[in-house]
């Protein structure tokens, strides 16, 4: 009888033990600059539980025992794993994976950064290589022809141009046509002709209604997100963009009398017509 009672108690103890060891581990995931990372996936290695960081980079994941190992994965970051070792709070700092960033297009919405594969919105992306391929006085002229759906509205009186992302039928005289310009995650009142294209790392053009979930009515005409160049670790690199333009003074005074008249102009036309075309 006593032996049966002891066996029953032992079985009950073994059944309760795993449930008592199971608990939650919480923490925060940041990058090297201390900024919270949104959407980091946390797996329990060789376990069945997982979690994802929220808008503040915080997470909570269930572990089965104190020796569980957590694996952290995020696009553009090196995978990181660490043992719980009985801790109930575990903060993690993830490092950039530069080799992967070179192959993966990371799109900035001004609110968070997503890989092209994870973004469900309609957007156009232009990096600094395309922006500075030719000499431009401002980023507005550098973007021309680079993004599908982005056109330039040119004022015939002043020659000034402004970007247009939405169909003209959706505009009103009160709203105008200028899209919202976001620079380094800050909504601004700037225009594109005020931004130096050689200070820009990338430009993301948000073209559909998904931008309204972030910026509300300000996104009525679309959103152009500009990310400027930042300092990077490693050796100092110097890049130079230069253009050489030469011109010659047109000589219309064929007769050499110091006066340009109709005969001189006709002479220039005749010379041009007689010149063989290459």
* C-alpha to C-alpha distance for 217 and 215, rounded to whole angstroms: 6
89-to-59, 76, 122 alpha-carbon distances in Å: 10, 25, 38
According to the model, what pLDDT value does residue 19 have? 44
Q: 146: alpha, beta or left, given left = phi > 0 and alpha = psi -120 to 50?
A: alpha
Its sign, for the CA torsion 178, 184, 185, 189, is: negative
According to the model, what pLDDT value does residue 98 have? 67
Per the document, the length of the chain is 278
Note whether 89 and 159 are same-domain residues: no
Q: For position 32, which CATH number holds?
A: 2.60.40.1120
Q: Which of 3-7, 37-41, 54-58, 98-102 has the lowest mean pLDDT?
A: 98-102
Number of structural domains found in the chain: 2
Note whether 123 and 224 are same-domain residues: yes
Domain range for 93 is 2-98
0.85 exceeded by the pTM?
no
Note whether 109 and 86 are same-domain residues: no
Could you give the angle at the alpha carbon of 87 between the alpha carbons of 86 and 93, nearest 5°? Answer: 135
According to the model, what pLDDT value does residue 147 have? 79
Note whether 154 and 222 are same-domain residues: yes
The answer as to whether 244 is a domain residue is no
Contact 110, 223 (CB under 8 A): yes
Its sign, for the CA torsion 217, 218, 219, 220, is: positive
Structure tokens at 76: 């553009």
Domain-ending residue, one of 194, 212, 228: 228
Judged by DSSP in three states, 172 sits in: coil
Give the best-scoring range by mean pLDDT among 53-57, 112-116, 228-232, 250-254.
53-57
HSE-up (13 A, CA, CB side) for residue 237: 7
Note whether 88 and 111 are same-domain residues: no
Q: For position 114, which CATH number holds?
A: 2.170.130.10
Q: Express as a percent the part of the chain with pLDDT over 90.
A: 17
- Would you place residue 17 in the very low, low, confident or very high pLDDT band (cuts 50, 70, 90)? very low
Note whether 64 and 152 are same-domain residues: no
The answer as to whether 122 is a domain residue is yes
The answer as to whether 210 is a domain residue is yes
């Amino acid at each position: 009888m006593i032996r049966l009672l002891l066996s029953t108690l032992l079985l009950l103890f073994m059944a309760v033990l795993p449930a008592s060891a199971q608990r939650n581990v919480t923490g925060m995931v940041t990058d090297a600059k201390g900024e919270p990372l949104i959407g980091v996936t946390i797996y329990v290695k060789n376990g069945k539980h997982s979690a994802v960081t929220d808008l503040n980079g915080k997470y909570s994941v269930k572990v089965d025992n104190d020796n569980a190992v957590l694996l952290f994965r995020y696009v553009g970051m090196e995978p990181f794993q660490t043992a719980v070792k009985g801790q109930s709070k575990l903060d993690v700092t993830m490092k950039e994976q530069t080799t992967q960033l070179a192959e993966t297009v990371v799109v900035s919405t001004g609110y968070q950064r997503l890989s092209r594969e994870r973004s469900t919105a309609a957007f156009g992306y232009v990096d600094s290589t395309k922006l500075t391929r030719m000499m431009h006085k401002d980023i507005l002229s550098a973007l021309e022809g680079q993004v599908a759906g982005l056109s330039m509205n040119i004022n015939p009186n002043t020659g000034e141009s402004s970007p247009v992302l939405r169909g003209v039928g959706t505009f009103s005289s009160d709203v105008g046509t200028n899209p919202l310009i976001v620079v380094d995650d800050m909504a601004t009142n700037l225009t594109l002709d005020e931004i130096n294209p050689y200070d820009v790392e990338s430009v993301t053009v948000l073209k559909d209604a998904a931008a309204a979930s972030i910026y509300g009515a300000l996104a009525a005409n679309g959103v152009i997100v500009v990310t400027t160049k930042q300092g990077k670790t490693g050796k100092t690199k110097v890049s130079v963009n230069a253009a050489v333009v030469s011109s010659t003074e047109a000589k219309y005074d064929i007769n050499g009398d110091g006066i340009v008249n109709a005969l001189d102009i006709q002479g220039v036309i005749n010379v041009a017509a007689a010149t063989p075309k290459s």
